Amino acid sequence: MAGLAAVAVWPVQRAGDALLAARGRLFPFVPVCLGAGIGLWFALPADPSPVAVAACVAVALAAGLVGAVGPVALRPPAVALALAAAGVVLADWRAGQVAAPVLAFRYHGPVEGRIVLIDRNADDRLRLTLDRVVLDGIEPGRTPARIRIVLQAAQPHLTPVPGLVVMTTAHLSPPEPAVEPGAFDFRRFAWFRGLGAVGYARGPVLARAPPAPGEDRLNRLRARVTAAIWDAVPGDAGGFAAAVATGDRAGISAAATAALRDSNLSHILSISGMHMALLTAIVFASVRTGIALVPPLALRIPAKKVAAVVALGAATLYLALSGGSVPTGRAYVMVGVMLVAVLADRQALSLRAVAIAATLILLWQPEALVDPGFQMSFAATVALIAGFAALRGRLSPGRLPGPAAWFATLLASSILAGFASAPYAAAHFNRFADYGLIANLIAGPVMGLLVMPGIVAAAILAPLGLGGPAWVAIEAGCRFILAVAGWVAGLDGAVTPVPRPPDAVLPLLSLGGAWLAAWPGRARLAGLAPLAAAAALWIGAERPAVLIAADGRLAGVMGPEGRALSAARGAGFAARAWLEDDGDPADQATAAARPGFDGPRAARTFRAGPLRAVLLAGKDAGQRVGAACRDAELVILPDRAADPTPPGCLVIDGAVLARTGALALGTDAAGRLTLRPAVTGGRRWDRPQGRGAAPAAPGVTALAAAGGASQPP
């Protein structure tokens, strides 16, 4: 018995010894533990009750106390537990703080609001985000704080600028939920941005009032800078330059955006860590070099710290001018932490500095954890710091000739950043850019040597009327990058479709990567275990056998040739998203031609596990339910069923789908049909107006029982 006890205690002792040996080097795991709690909150099927939140507060306080004054061996795990519990509380608090009215029905009528953002949608149509919204017949307390409308008609009479109050007639609806269970949830995305309705306007948009004096000065300055760039640099090159300088993408075409995406250069278009780092590096180096060229000045002032202060000011101005978007804010925090480290005579580029930046961002915006930009930028940054620490001295000019050292550094940077961020990009966007490394190796230096220095020079010289050379450099660099993007995107096999991974994959990847990068000694190799588990889960992932769209107008059945769709047109967004999540490059028409569905358009028949199923369409679908149940055990239709449901027939009509959202159908171990809803009804963003409790997918459990099926918990 004593021997067995010793064997049982040995791993605990080893773990305790490892924690004690790692003391002083565990700070990079602070955002990991905090993010674990935030991620747990987002993964919950329903908002935690006040009692559960209070329990998390108690756990955080108790564990924090143990971490502060408890036994030394218990302090690291206690702090980790306290941070995770605090992450749950923080995410729940943030979700309540951003609560705003959400439109609870479809609206068609007059709309008035102030423009706060101008961009373009995937179809290259102009899109306006409005605040101070006024909707006819809806009291202010129930009116969304922000709405977003797509302009379907050209507006030659209108020059939209931030601050302009406009009016139009629009079709609005609540933000749509995920197109399938576990997929990107636009409704959640909109909740954290105060976006309470989305829609479109087919008619003219009229200017009702100009921007108020003294109001929204930064946004109007941003609009003027954007217009100046468009005037100086025509075409997509100007749109690219404006996107990089001010974050305004309205001037770049959908074709150019697609080429940048397929060549893995779309990150250049979004103001992120790379842009902020390039800008501050250029300003920092210029100021420090300028001071060094004046010996009396260089001997009297700390040039490095002065350069850091000026660079921080330039980064702050860039943040304001770019519109202060979430990715830009994250980049600013990262750069700010590093510049403050310079002022404090600490190492600027270190895992500790990255951990501080990540922690500040998660405290500021916990929802950033589930954002692709946050995940990709921090994965790339951590990989660069850890990778160059491992390569220290091997790429120095002393070991390699100057040009060779520069090229080797560039190559290593692209490989490290690309390798670390690629899994996240593939998971979120269902694609892997096969030649992305080549595109970044060619375009990256041009971005750093022409475009960003040109933007800094134009910001200084253009107000003096001396911006000509800077505009030439910007245009040449932007056109070159767009040409590289078009060339790479046009190569055979430029993009490999990738299926959406199970939910556990990205957390495992993040844990494994953080462990490999931050844990000291040979024990860091333990990080390979979660990486291997993530790869195994992704490779072995199974897609839903049957998918039903939230509007009941489209179904998809997985077959030997891929997913077959019930219709070649209609519900195009859901169809495209399903195929992309399958890792299937086919379009909707091709998928609709695959075997899997039979019968006329008004009654498409298919197999749903053990059941014969039919998807009804047409104005009289509700009256045909009884007849359909004579030949099928499962009937799906977009409208409310008018006929009583016959015994033994499972009916999923519009009333059910309005509460469940999209449905994934499969079979359990006993061969029974399972129904998994995209909307559980338990999260804040799933409830009209964000108030009150809503039962989870009402009707599904009862329907499943009536049809001899089961609903997984």
Per-residue tokens: 220: 């109007």
What does DSSP assign to residue 52? H
**CATH number of the domain that residue 139 is part of:** 2.40.50
pTM summary value: 0.85
- Spacing of C-alpha 206 from chain mean position: 33
- Structural domain includes residue 712: no
Task: State the angle between helix axes of 468-489 and 254-262 in degrees (0 to 180), rounded to the nearest 10.
Answer: 60
Does residue 499 carry a pLDDT above 70? yes
Q: Residue 170's closest CA among 234, 233, 88, 106?
A: 106
Quickly tell me which residue has 């697609």 as its tokens.
Answer: 258
For residues 101 and 142, is the Cβ–Cβ distance under 8 A? yes
User: Same domain for 90 and 202?
Assistant: no
Beta-strand pair 634-636/611-616: parallel
pLDDT of residue 200: 94
Higher confidence at residue 581 or residue 353?
A: 581
What mean pLDDT do residues 308-323 have?
Answer: 82
CA–chain centroid gap for 414, Å, is 22
First to last CA, the chain: 42
Pair 478, 360 in one domain: yes
**Is pLDDT larger for residue 309 or for residue 270?**
309
Strands 206-209 and 165-173: antiparallel
Apex CA 656: angle with CA 653 and CA 662, to 5°? 90
| Type of residue found at 348 | A
Tokens 């070991």, located at residue: 399
Helix or strand or coil: residue 171? strand
Categorize the per-residue pLDDT at 406 as very low, low, confident or very high, splitting at 50, 70 and 90: low
For the residues 360-373, what does the mean pLDDT come to?
90
Residue at 713 is within a domain: no
What integer pLDDT is reported at residue 51 of this predicted model?
A: 96
> How far, in Å, CA of 589 to CA of 567, rounded?
8
pLDDT above 80: residue 516 = yes
Question: What does the pLDDT read at residue 301?
Answer: 84
Of residues 249 and 284, the one with the higher pLDDT is: 284
Q: Judge whether residue 280 has pLDDT over 70.
A: yes
Percent of the chain with pLDDT over 90: 35
Predicted local confidence at residue 348, as pLDDT:
66
Domain identity same for 535 and 420 = no
Q: Which of 165, 188, 215 is the last residue of a domain?
A: 215
Residue 307 and residue 435 in one domain: yes
Structural domain for 599, as ranges = 546-706
Q: Is 649 part of a structural domain of the chain?
A: yes
* Whether 33 and 58 share a structural domain: yes
Q: How far apart are CA 707 and CA 649, in angstroms?
A: 6
Nearest-Å Rg of the Cα atoms of the chain is 28
Point out the least confidently predicted range of 1-10, 324-333, 485-494, 552-561: 1-10
Angle at 323 between CA 322 and CA 325, to 5 degrees: 100
The pLDDT of residue 22? 63
Residue ranges of alpha helices (H) inside 490-527 are 505-518
Instruction: Among 34, 63, 97, give the residue marking a domain's end.
Output: 97
8 Å CB contact between 117 and 66: no
**Cα 589 from chain centre:** 28
Confidence of residue 394 (pLDDT cuts 50, 70, 90): low
Say if CB 606 and CB 597 are below 8 A apart: yes
Examine residue 9 and state whether it is found in any structural domain, yes or no: no
Q: Is residue 6 part of a domain?
A: no
- Whether residue 662 is contained in a domain is answered as yes
- 3-state DSSP call for residue 572? helix
Maximum average pLDDT range among 7-16, 212-221, 624-633: 624-633
- The answer on pLDDT for 222 being more than 60 is yes
Q: Which residues contact 451 (CB under 8 A, 6 or more apart)?
A: 241, 244, 473, 474, 477, 478, 481
Q: What's the whole-number mean pLDDT along residues 374-382?
A: 85
The answer to whether the beta carbons of residues 115 and 163 sit under 8 Å apart is: yes
In a domain, 171, yes or no: yes
| Same structural domain, 315 and 376 | yes
Give the pLDDT of residue 17.
59
For residue 460, the Cα-to-chain-centroid distance in whole angstroms is 34
Question: 79-83, 505-509, 640-644, 707-711 — which is least confidently predicted?
Answer: 707-711
205 and 228 within one domain? no
Phi first, then psi, for residue 135 (nearest 5°) are -120, 140
Q: How many other CB atoms are there within 10 angstroms of residue 342's CB atom?
A: 18
- The pLDDT value recorded for residue 95 is 94
Residue 8: pLDDT above 70?
no
pLDDT at 79: 92
Average pLDDT score over residue span 68-82: 87
Same domain (yes/no): 139, 201: yes
Structure tokens at 171: 């079709």
Does the structure show a pLDDT above 70 at 709?
no
If you count DSSP H runs as helices and E runs as strands, how many of each does the chain have, helices first? 26, 17
Based on the domain organization, do 394 and 444 belong to the same domain? yes
Q: Are residues 387 and 328 in the same domain?
A: yes
pLDDT of residue 324: 62
Report, as an integer, the average pLDDT of 688-698: 43
Cα 305 from Cα 297, distance rounded (Å): 13
Higher pLDDT, 474 or 331: 474
Answer yes or no: do 413 and 456 share one domain.
Answer: yes
pLDDT band at 699 (very low <50, low <70, confident <90, very high): very low
Query: In this structure, is residue 711 part of a structural domain?
Result: no
Tokens of 48: 């935690």
Q: What is the distance between the alpha carbons of residues 139 and 70, in angstroms, rounded to a whole number?
A: 55
Task: Please count the structural domains in the chain.
Answer: 5
Predicted pLDDT of residue 367: 93
Which of residues 176 and 693 earns the better pLDDT score?
A: 176
Q: Is the pLDDT of residue 1 over 70?
A: no
Mean pLDDT of the chain: 84
pLDDT digits (tens, 9 = 90+) for 160-178: 877 889 999 999 999 999 9
Domain match, 611 and 665 both: yes
Task: Give the pLDDT confidence score for residue 326 in this predicted structure.
Answer: 62
Domain boundary among 169, 195, 215: 215
Mean pLDDT, range 146-151, rounded to an integer: 94
pLDDT of residue 60: 95
